[in-house]
Amino acid sequence: MSIYRSGELFRASGLTLNSNSDTVTAGTTNSLTGSTAGTIDVSKVSNGLLVVTAANAPTGTTPALAVFFDVRDALGNWCLVSNATAISGATLGTSGTTYGNISTGYQLTDIGRIRWVLTGTNPVFTGVSFSLYGR
């Protein structure tokens, strides 16, 4: 049974994002539920807000972080349901917070995931937190 607090569905903090990774993986613990599945149960919500915070300045040359939210269809395909550029419509190039809608008018399915794209030369973002709220 999942535990939801104030509509929050997922929370992870202190993550390091680098070129070796591009999604929340099975090793990442959802601190709200204790699940380490890597996927997020969005079956009880129709839309939401994804908040991303980078606590530390990134390293590398011209680093940029674009974060997306995808849902999985019945055939196992991942479909983008956030802004096509990044959740906020822009990339994050320094420490700070960005956020964005996760439905953009699409129907959410049962399973979702947080995905990102890093650009620049040897980009690394540390101290990254994700919070996903649904309604």
Domain residue limits, the chain = 8-134
Give the length of the chain.
135
Largest pairwise CA distance in the chain:
44
Q: How confident is the model at residue 111 (pLDDT cuts 50, 70, 90)?
A: very high
Question: End-to-end CA distance of the chain, in Å?
Answer: 18
* Secondary structure of residue 135 in the 3-state scheme: coil
Q: Which region among 3-17, 41-55, 60-74 has the lowest average model confidence (pLDDT)? A: 3-17
pTM of the model: 0.89
Residues 6+ apart with CB under 8 A from 20: none
Give 17-69 as a DSSP string.
E-TT--B--TTS--TTT---SSSEE-TT-S-EEEEEEE-S--EEEEEEEEEEE
Give 74-130 as a DSSP string.
TTS-EEE-S-SS-TTSS-B-SSEEEEEES-TTPPP-SEEEEEEEEEEEEEEEEEEEE
Query: Can you give the pLDDT at residue 14?
Result: 95
pLDDT tens, residue by residue, 31-46: 999 988 889 999 888 8
d(CA 16, CA 125): 6
**CATH class of the structural domain 8-134:** mainly beta
Query: Can you give the pLDDT at residue 38?
Result: 86
